[in-house]
Amino acid sequence: MGFLQRVPLVVQIVIGLVLGVPLGLLLGKDAGQLKLVSDLILQLLRLLATPLIFLSLFHAILTTNIKGRLAGRMMWILMSNTVIAILIGIGVANLLMPGQHVKLPAAAAAPDKKPFDPVNDLLGKIPKDFLGPFSTNDIIGVICIGVGLALAIKMLKGGKFDAQIKSLETWVDFGLQITLKMLHWVFALVPLAVLAVVARVVGTTGFEPLIKMGWFVVSVILALLLMCVVYVIRLRLGSWVSIKQFFVGAADAFAMAFSTASSAATLPVTYACAKEKLKLREESASLGVMVGGTFNHDGTALYEAMAALFISQAIGQHLSFSQQMVVVLMAVIASVGAAGIPEAGLVTMIAVFNAVHLPIEYIPLLLPLDWFLDRCRTTINVVGDLASTCILDGKTPAEPLAEAAT
Ligand code: ASP
């Protein structure tokens, strides 16, 4: 066990990926039994998705100070970026149709053929009672309650309940840390799930589906790169920071994001890059990186939308235009509720799948690719945080340019 702890998770996942092939070949059709392993991990992820989204949204709204015109501008920059990211993801997925190249092995549960009804399906999610969504693990209902509660408590700040609110913040943070700790236990099982998924796919259907998943990887990377182009254009139009200054000054943060697959762990480096290398104003750096970094996960949003479309194409349960719009909406919410830790996007993806009746049994099939795609989308998350911060800083530098350029 101690030995395993010393091996980085990414190495364990790659080992799982490699060993899955001979295991699948050895077991042949019997490898189908390994579905139990990925089902178990999915069940655990499902269990933790609701508290994670509730607590991280509740905590973020309660503890961040979003006030004034600068905050309004920031919200606009962040929200518009997230929506553009998802639309790019959906556009690329519709154009390249990566799912059509893959024929996925059947899930235990038959695809939900119930016709989609945006009014009933979405309005019906507004909770009718306070505790119901928690007991039924209804993520949208839980989000509604969490946001409403946090906003109401926030409005009471600065009055006679300040002491209670302070202690509540500590308790919520405590709850969040407990959830994250448990989530890390589940993540420790991910290499095993990867081994099981690869062995099952190789054993029951051969190599083809795995190789064809390459289309999905290429599509996601293309979409992430397009999003990077959008950041560059917005930076050029809305900030005094030049493109060269941006990529040179923020390189440490991008490298850290790619190597840790965690935008939260990268946050101190992101802040240092904004303040010390890019020489952005204190208020822009704090608001853009600290608040933006908490809420903003454009790469995650883009990925969740693409994953939903990919699976829907692969199982022939194509999503209509209105369903794809629901995917946009849910991917915004799910990405805001995603914690900046490795694989968090996979957890909140459950909400996106549920909203359009896609069977979540297929999510573990993305695991063998996720160790790599997670790094790519985390890097884009951090590029987005810093680009938004530069735009927030405006068109004139705080210090003369000669000093600012490093
Ligand atoms: N790993 C991502 C981050 O830290 C979240 C995710 O998409 O899984 O920002």
300: Cβ below 6 Å to ligand 1?
A: yes
Which pairs with CB-CB distance under 8 Å and at least 24 residues apart come from 349-354? 349/304, 349/307, 349/308, 350/45, 350/46, 350/49, 350/139, 351/49, 351/53, 351/139, 351/140, 351/143, 352/304, 352/305, 352/307, 352/308, 352/327, 353/308, 353/311, 354/139, 354/140
Q: Give how far Cα 406 sits from Cα of 205, 277, 363, 400, 402, Å.
A: 54, 7, 43, 12, 9
Report the SS3 class of residue 138. Answer: coil
Closest C-alpha to ligand 1, atom 6: 345
220, 303 Cβ separation under 8 angstroms:
yes
Cβ 270 under 6 angstroms from ligand 1: no
**Distance in angstroms (rounded) separating the CA atoms of residues 217 and 223:** 10
Within 10 angstroms of residue 234's Cβ, the number of other Cβ atoms is 18
By three-state DSSP, how is residue 296 classified?
A: coil
378 lines ligand 1 (CB under 6 A): yes
User: What is d(CA 370, CA 136) in angstroms, rounded to the nearest whole number?
Assistant: 28
105 alpha carbon – ligand 1 mean position (Å): 27
Report the nearest-CA residue for atom 1 of ligand 1.
342
For residue 72, give the H/E element and its range: helix 68-96
Residue 316, token pair as written in the block: 């022939």
345 closest CA partner among 247, 262, 266, 404: 262
Q: Which pLDDT score is estimated for 257?
A: 87
Q: What is the pLDDT along the chain (406 residues), one digit of tens a residue?
A: 566 667 777 788 788 888 988 998 998 888 888 888 878 887 887 788 788 878 877 887 788 776 667 778 888 999 999 999 999 999 999 999 998 888 765 554 444 555 555 566 566 668 888 888 888 777 778 878 888 898 899 889 888 999 999 999 999 989 988 988 888 888 788 888 888 888 988 888 787 777 888 899 999 999 999 999 999 999 999 999 999 999 999 998 898 888 888 888 888 888 888 988 899 988 888 788 877 777 789 999 999 999 999 999 998 888 888 889 989 988 888 888 777 788 888 888 888 898 888 888 888 888 888 888 998 999 999 999 999 999 999 888 876 654 444 4
Rounded CA separation 337/52 (Å): 8
Q: How many CB atoms lie within 10 A of CB 52?
A: 24
Residue located nearest, by CA, to atom 3 of ligand 1: 340
pLDDT at residue 110, rounded to an integer: 47
| Annotated domain spans of the chain | 16-399
Test site for ligand 1: of 86, 186, 190, 263, most ligand atoms within 8 A of the Cβ: 263
Q: What is the 3-state secondary structure (H, E, C) of 234-269?
A: HHHHHCCCCHHHHHHHCHHHHHHHHHHCCHHHHHHH
The pick from 86, 300, 348 for probing ligand 1's pocket by mutation, whose C-beta has the most ligand atoms within 8 angstroms, reads 300
Ligand 1 nearest atom to the CA of residue 342, by list position: 1
User: Distance of alpha carbon 150 from its chain centroid, rounded?
Assistant: 22
CA angle 61, 333, 174 (to 5 degrees): 40
Question: What pLDDT, on a 0 to 100 scale, did the predictor assign at position 405?
Answer: 43
Question: What distance in Å separates the CA atoms of residue 366 and residue 213, rounded to the nearest whole number?
Answer: 9
Report yes or no: 384 and 296 within 8 Å, Cβ to Cβ.
yes
- Which atom from ligand 1 is nearest to the alpha carbon of 339? 5
Domain 16-399 is in which class?
mainly alpha
Residue 120: what pLDDT?
Answer: 63
Instruction: Measure the CA–CA gap between 34 and 183, rounded to whole angstroms.
Output: 22
The answer to whether 150 and 336 have CB atoms below 8 angstroms apart is: no
Closest C-alpha to 172, from 292, 267, 51, 291:
51
The pTM score is 0.79
User: How far apart are the C-alpha atoms of 127 and 384, rounded to whole Å?
Assistant: 33
Q: Rounded to an integer, what is the distance from CA 187 to the centroid of its chain?
A: 15
